[in-house]
Chains A and B, each alone.
Chain A
């Protein structure tokens, strides 16, 4: 993960991402892109798209079709945007290994540079949500408490109070949000991967998203404090009940056995 983010922060990579963002969306996001960068080298951009197309043909076309128009095995990718590509490939969900109720998160097999190339190719096919900038998803300057309220309104019903995940119908599930890169959380909200509904900026503003990410970072981050002790999975009463039975009652019964057992007798002489 660290390696990836390091590459992602490579000056050239950032430039590429920004260029793509511009190319893909125009209007709404134009404000985020400084004017001078808009005049970037066009050949570099088309080169990236070219590379992405090659990668696409090898890894994705069998399901999504050669022109990303979609087949019976995979949806059309026209207009899904670079954010969707970055999320799906960046969390290892794509390319999918096998069909199932849900495509799970797994080992990422592309480098961030390759993912960016793929994303460039896909967003060249039609405008869609763009990979967010660090500034958009970093928890700094966010209202954690407001994020908590938003999380409970919009997210907790599937992902649990603090993002531990939960069950959906027929074997589908909302995954745990523990250790998920804030960028991917942001992208998931933007794009609505698989069965997750999307939360576009028009209904869940950028600031709202930032608040939610900050809340998650506070309650489900690496340094999150669990004041009472073991979190027991953060799943609520089921794991608490199990713990009470096994360690509480189990321990007390073990003590009762000691208490009621006969004391060792002296050996008969």
Chain B
């Protein structure tokens, strides 16, 4: 850049109004204009399901804001003190400072209870939002290239969110959460060889000791949220880089994105949505109690209440541990606590099962192109069936985790529910898979009928020779396009096993597996060939009276 242009530029900038001057100042140091040029009018497609991620983002922000407030009053200490606050049924009781300060926040800090309840409700909604967001991405195939890494970021956020939630839930040192921590200690003890060491290092000695609240505190407020914040930023940057996916429709292709600009429409909508989410959660915190630690009392390792459950996102692990038979093997002076250790191993596997799916699908299809148009779940029957099977699995475990409440509220035997869950753990996902696939294929057939024969209008017409027919209205071109825009893969074949020289090549096991999977995904049993132009023309020309 030459000196002359620079001086003219600075001169022209010098005359600008104050706002522009400030922007110029910032641009000269931060280069904000290039950023703004690329992003200010960035297009976001409008769909309610694209707001699920924002629910998570905003509840995360709300959790951070309220969490910072709570740290101003919370004492992460397990020193025993006597309670002298304003809640009568606990006065004079011995409790840890952690519990005491949580009582103080709840009863003696004005608005403290509200902030505590917002924090906890937002945490439950954060995790629920991530779950639904993840399922939306899964069922629409939004995890496909180029978004696999972002899928993993999101998955990690979900897992870290679970553990941040668990450590936070344990901080008040109340009887319910203490029971959860005890369970965690028992689970750690079950780890072969190093279990006792891990437990002693985590708790600073024997359970409960005097350290875990302080340790969980730094994990809960610093370590895990720090990592999560980094992941959230990365997740958002990738959303900007990739541009948002969109559903098929007229004018929407794999090479464009149709919607509203970031400024002003999405600034207002997304910015407004933050306030809406915060407002709803604040209202919930005003009308519904959450984690009333004063009812539960301070933790004592020799006390317990029935209905001891973790927050919902840990419920499936609770289910795993409840339905596992009590296997224990003793050998050479050692104990292998399979009854606890197997659930501990399956716990991450349940989550990993869904996390690795995108990579399995990519391997089966062998598709290396970018995908920006979302699938309708019915058009990917195997994927959809897998997803529903996974949710079923998760739900069965959730039922197991709340088996005592199912028993009391539906007048069932707790033993029968446990047995039901033991069987359903294996059977229910398979059934869900089969049923979902059938439903998807049925819906595909219906789409095909709609394209070829039009929409059932509900008008019955009598033909001159007395026959009654229902008039089918042909679809608009928009609808025809939308219903036929999806891709259909052909099953991959192993290919010639003999090369051009007549030499037999060895077919690898992985190739065979892939061919089999591909047949299962895209074979005749697994998708309905979408209508072709020829079929359409033949039928429409046959019905000349349309």
Contacts and interface: CB of A to CB of B under 8 A. Distances in A.
Contacts of A245: 128, 312
Contacts, number: 205
A256 B285 CA distance: 20
A261 B300 CA distance: 52
A165 interface: yes
A262 B306 contact: no
B311 A145 contact: no
A159 B124 CA distance: 26
A249 to B, nearest CB: 5
A238 B49 CA distance: 26
Contact of B92 (A145, A164, A167): A145
B3 interface: no
Given A145-B91, A159-B306, A173-B407, A168 B124 contact: no
A29 interface: no
A96 interface: no
A149 B280 contact: no
A238 B405 contact: yes
Contact of B312 (A168, A218, A237): A237
A171 B310 contact: no
B117 A228 contact: yes
B514 to A, nearest CB: 38
A101 B54 CA distance: 49
B411 interface: yes
Interface string A201-225: 0000000000000010011000000
B64 interface: no
Interface residues of B, number: 73
A241 B408 contact: no
A236 B176 contact: yes
Interface in B256-297: 269, 272-273, 276-277, 280-281, 284-292, 294-297
A156 B305 contact: yes
Q: Max chain B CB contacts within 10 Å: which of A159, A252, A259?
A: A252
A159 B305 CA distance: 7
Contacts of A158: 306
A168 B414 contact: yes
Interface in B132-168: 132
Contact of B292 (A143, A226, A253, A256): A226
A170 B413 contact: yes
Interface string A150-163: 00110011111110
Given A156-B305, A168-B414, A251-B280, A230 B273 contact: no
Contacts of B88: 144-145, 218
Given A153-B303, A236-B176, A248-B284, A260 B125 contact: no
Interface in A229-269: 229-232, 234-238, 240-245, 247-249, 251-253, 255-257, 259-262
A162 B307 CA distance: 11
Contacts of A247: 284, 288
A174 B407 CA distance: 11
Given A252-B277, A253-B48, A260-B47, A228 B113 contact: yes
A214 to B, nearest CB: 9
A30 B146 CA distance: 86
Interface string A118-140: 00000000000000000000000
A79 interface: no
B401 to A, nearest CB: 8
Contacts of B272: 259
A144 B91 CA distance: 8
Given A171-B407, A244-B128, A252-B55, 19 more contacts: A148-B90, A156-B304, A157-B304, A157-B305, A158-B306, A167-B414, A170-B413, A171-B414, A228-B289, A231-B289, A238-B405, A240-B124, A244-B312, A248-B281, A249-B132, A256-B55, A257-B48, A259-B269, A259-B273
Closest 3 CB pairs of A and B: A241-B312, A166-B306, A228-B289
Interface of B: 46-52, 54-55, 83, 88-93, 106-107, 113, 117, 121, 124-125, 128-129, 132, 175-176, 269, 272-273, 276-277, 280-281, 284-292, 294-297, 300, 302-313, 315, 402-405, 407-408, 411-415
